[in-house]
Amino acid sequence: MSLRAKQIIIAILGFIFLLSLVFVQWVEVTRKQEEAGLTAHHIAVPMKSRQCVECHEKSSPGIIDHWKGSTHAVKGVGCVECHKAETDDVDAFTHYGHTIATIVTPRDCGHCHQNEHKEFERSHHAKAGNILASLDNRLAEVVEGFREDVKDEQGNIIETLTRFNPHSPTPGMSIETVNGNASVDVGCKQCHGSKVSLEGIDGSLISVDQLKPDATGKPTNMDAVALIKHDASGRPVLSASSWPNTGIGRLNLDGSLGSCSACHSRHDFSPRRARQPENCGKCHLGPDHPQKEIYEESKHGVAFRDLKDHMNLDAKDWVLGRDYTQAPTCASCHMSANTLNGEKISHDPGDRLSWTNRPPVSVVMDTDINGKIVTETDPAKRRQLVTSTWQDKRQNMQQVCLHCHTQNYINSFYKQYDDFVVNYNEKFAKPGEAIMAALTSNELISKAQFDDEIEWTWFYLWHHEGRRARHGASMMAPDYAHWHGMYEVAERFYQALIPQAREIAEHATAAGKGESAQLVLAVIDEILARPEHRWYEKDKIKFTGDHAAVHRGIADDLKQAQAEASDAAPPADASNEKPAKAANDATPPAATDADKPAASANEGDAGTSAATPPASGE
């Protein structure tokens, strides 16, 4: 081969190589522009869904516009592919020749996204619908609305009333009855999830409870299926109390839990949007769990706002340490992949949480095979139940932290965080539980919640201020940890919970329940005698003199009142009585061991107050 021929071949190869580089760059630029929404994707409308797209482009163009911007549209996943149903599905109906269902459940998404479905199923997110039987829900159902169970003579519920009569007209509207569950439907269920229900021809609501679906999602109670009401087009009628709803713990008709669209908004299911903190802010904000506000105050949130445009949010995989390092978002820390964990995404946010700060008393995240927090206290039994320790979960989170911080920095942060949570638990949460348990067990307050002022006080202390404090500490937001948190916890404990508990005891004594009152006061005295609380009444004791006279005075007043009521002679030393002073002016010293009932004074036995829900992850 001549030199000239070789030169020509080399030139041709070089030109081809140059063209390939240009082509690769063009493909990458095009992809970036498509991901950023600057140019239109290539749309692959599947044949089965073509009629749907053409029709809905006219009737509901927003749906089609969103879908066209999705990865589904690029890959040829259309309307029928997601909404298709089988004829024996309870919510199935025929729509222009296709058997479909309105609601797409995680079970449906799991046909393609199997790993994501399995991870989500074991997460606390999937169990969020459990609030429908919780203390929070009583607030919305009973306190804010109306719910009353009608029972037979044996105490069995035969009917639940949720509507009441209006007390005045609403001009321009005809209101026959008021929906007492309106606050639940619009508030609680929209974050936590509803129990999806179909209307029955007999006026009943038919949900997963009545349908009893099997492992494949098919109903086993055919009597319930026969009661399902259908509209004129043959579509099963979804109850307005349960749909529309994208609550993350939704209880679906096929038995599956959750709603993928809670985070992945339909119909574009944008990864870019799911990666940003605003996506989580629909639910994780407000006075009782202000994670979004806390994040915004933290250095992490400040960095995100400043460097958002450099975070490659449109990347296909979005791996921390490879695609971006500028700042973490909620997804970065709790779910997204990073270079130190094998680039593994998790759809269980609890995989990286070492504490749960949701309940009144924070507990470590030792979980069993089903992802449930282990509450067993016996060390040997606990070891057998725990399949994932809180230390494992902390290590998962620290893999994220290590992308920007040294190990020493991370260890010191977690030392501060642990100390903060333990201080909250031991100084305020456990004592608060003990006081509430003593009041309840000694029948000085009713078992029904929120009908006593102190129940509101306790709820504010742990559910609002206590959570704010702990979440602030966990996410490096000092103002929330202190001023919006522990300061308000302390103020609520000393200036409201303690005085109210003592006042209840005084009223109980005057009403003839002196023994029960003394048991409660003994619990309070034992708590306030501890070194960490001693400051509170140290100066008051010096200032008011004989502190023990307060309780003796209450008891003597009671004896005198009982004697007068029964025309009995007053006590011999009645002339020497000391009037009871206000509870906030004086407090007796701790009861002696002989006076102190162990079961009541021991807060470790009092952790099941009626005002305290069971611990679960958040």
pLDDT digits (tens, 9 = 90+) for 438-457: 999 999 999 999 999 999 99
Q: What is the pLDDT of residue 558?
A: 58
pLDDT digits (tens, 9 = 90+) for 64-87: 999 998 999 999 999 999 999 999
Nearest to 337 by CA among 352, 359, 357: 352
Q: What is the pLDDT of residue 55?
A: 96
pLDDT of 350 above 50: yes
Cis peptide before 310 (omega within 30 of 0): no
pLDDT of 615 above 70: no
Pairing of strands 205-206, 98-100: unpaired
Q: What is the pLDDT of residue 475?
A: 97
Residue type, 143: V
* Cα-based distances in Å from 454 to 133, 323, 418, 445, 502: 22, 51, 29, 9, 11
Q: E strands along 358-475, which residues?
A: 363-364
d(CA 571, CA 576): 10
- What's the token pair of residue 40? 């239109």
DSSP per-residue letters across 242-294: T-S---TT-B-TTS-B--GGGTS-TTT--HHHHTSHHHHTTTS-SSS--HHHH
Give the confidence band of 576 by pLDDT, cuts at 50, 70, 90.
very low
Among the listed ranges 164-173, 377-386, 558-567, which one has the minimum average pLDDT value?
558-567
Among the listed ranges 122-136, 305-319, 353-367, which one has the minimum average pLDDT value?
122-136
pLDDT of 488 above 60: yes
Nearest to 102 by CA among 232, 243, 203: 243
Helices (H), 76-180: 79-83, 106-109, 114-121, 135-138
Q: What is the pLDDT of residue 282?
A: 93
d(CA 244, CA 250): 11
Q: What is the pLDDT of residue 551?
A: 53
Nearest to 464 by CA among 285, 288, 269: 288
Q: What percentage of the chain carries pLDDT values higher than 90?
A: 77
Q: What is the pLDDT of residue 9?
A: 86
Among the listed ranges 2-16, 129-143, 555-569, 602-616, which one has the minimum average pLDDT value?
602-616
φ/ψ bin of 604: left (φ > 0), alpha (ψ from -120 to 50), beta (otherwise) = alpha
Q: What is the mean pLDDT of residues 243-264?
A: 95
Q: Which residue has the higher pLDDT, 137 or 435?
A: 435
Q: What is the mean pLDDT of residues 382-409?
A: 97
Centre a 10 Å sphere on the Cβ of residue 144 and count the other Cβ atoms it contains.
15
User: pTM value?
Assistant: 0.81
Place of tokens 């010293």: 589
3-state secondary structure of 194: coil
Q: What is the pLDDT of residue 556?
A: 61
d(CA 24, CA 503): 77
Q: Which residue has the higher pLDDT, 432 or 21?
A: 432
pLDDT of 105 above 80: yes
Environment class of residue 577 by beta-carbon count within 10 Å: exposed (0-12), middle (13-18) or buried (19+)? middle
Q: Which residue has the higher pLDDT, 193 or 606?
A: 193
Radius of gyration for the chain, computed over Cα atoms and rounded to the nearest angstrom = 31
Q: What is the pLDDT of residue 26?
A: 83
pLDDT of 320 above 80: yes
* Cα-based distances in Å from 194 to 190, 205, 257: 7, 13, 10
Q: What is the pLDDT of residue 25?
A: 86
pLDDT of 43 above 80: yes
Q: What is the pLDDT of residue 133?
A: 63
What is the total residue count of the chain? 618
Give the confidence band of 567 by pLDDT, cuts at 50, 70, 90.
low
Q: Report the chain's mean pLDDT, rounded to a whole number.
A: 88
d(CA 356, CA 466): 12
* Cα-based distances in Å from 135 to 130, 149, 189, 371, 609: 11, 16, 14, 22, 12
Environment class of residue 544 by beta-carbon count within 10 Å: exposed (0-12), middle (13-18) or buried (19+)? middle
Q: What is the pLDDT of residue 541?
A: 57
pLDDT of 580 above 50: no
- What's the token pair of residue 424? 């909250």
Centre a 10 Å sphere on the Cβ of residue 329 and count the other Cβ atoms it contains.
26
pLDDT of 348 above 50: yes
d(CA 152, CA 382): 42
Q: What is the pLDDT of residue 545?
A: 47
Domain ranges of the chain: 29-83, 109-166+176-262, 271-419, 427-605
Q: What is the pLDDT of residue 1?
A: 76
pLDDT of 581 above 60: no
Nearest to 489 by CA among 591, 330, 357: 357
d(CA 536, CA 586): 11
